Amino acid sequence: MQAISKVRNVCLFGASPDTGNRGVTALCHSVIWHLHSRNVNKITVFDHGRGQRPDQVVFGNERVTVNLRGAVHSRRLYRTECLWTIRMATWLNSRWNSAAHDISEADAVYDVSAGDSFTDLYGERRFRSVVLPKLIALEAGRPLVLLPQTYGPFRSPEARATAEKIVRQSRMAWARDADSFAALKELLGDAFDPARHRQGVDMAFALPAIPPRNLSPKIQWWLSPEERRQHEVVGLNISGLIYNDPIPAAEQFGLKANYPLLVHEFLDWLLQSTDVRVILVPHVTTRSGEVESDPDAVQKVYDRLSPEHQQRVAIAEPESTPSELKWLIGQTAWFCGTRMHSTIAGLGSGVPTAAVSYSLKTRGVFATCGQGHQVFELRYQDTAAILASLKASFLRRQVDRELLAKQIPAVTRMARNQLDEIFQSITTDKRQIRSS
Torsion angle, alpha carbons of 27, 151, 124, 137, to 10: 60
DSSP-derived secondary structure letter, 21: B
Distance separating the N- and C-terminal Cα atoms of the chain? 9
Please report which residue ranges of 2-123 form alpha helices under DSSP H.
Answer: 22-37, 83-91, 98-105
Of all residues in the chain, what percent carry a pLDDT higher than 90? 89
Q: Choose among 46, 65, 63: nearest CA to 55.
A: 65
Give the mean model confidence (pLDDT) for residues 227-248: 97
**CATH pick for 217-409 out of 3.40.50.300, 3.40.50.150, 1.10.1040.10, 3.40.50.2000:** 3.40.50.2000
Which tens digit of pLDDT belongs to each residue from 275-300?
999 999 999 999 999 999 999 999 99
Which CATH architecture does the domain made up of 2-200 adopt?
3-Layer(aba) Sandwich (3.40)
Which tens digit of pLDDT belongs to each residue from 302-340?
999 999 999 999 999 999 999 999 999 999 999 999 999
- Domain ranges in the chain with CATH number 3.40.50.2000: 217-409
Which tens digit of pLDDT belongs to each residue from 30-83?
999 999 999 999 999 999 999 899 999 999 889 999 999 999 998 887 788 899
Q: Classify strands 313-315 and 172-175 as parallel, antiparallel or unpaired.
A: unpaired
Q: Could you give the maximum distance between any two Cα atoms of the chain, in Å?
A: 71
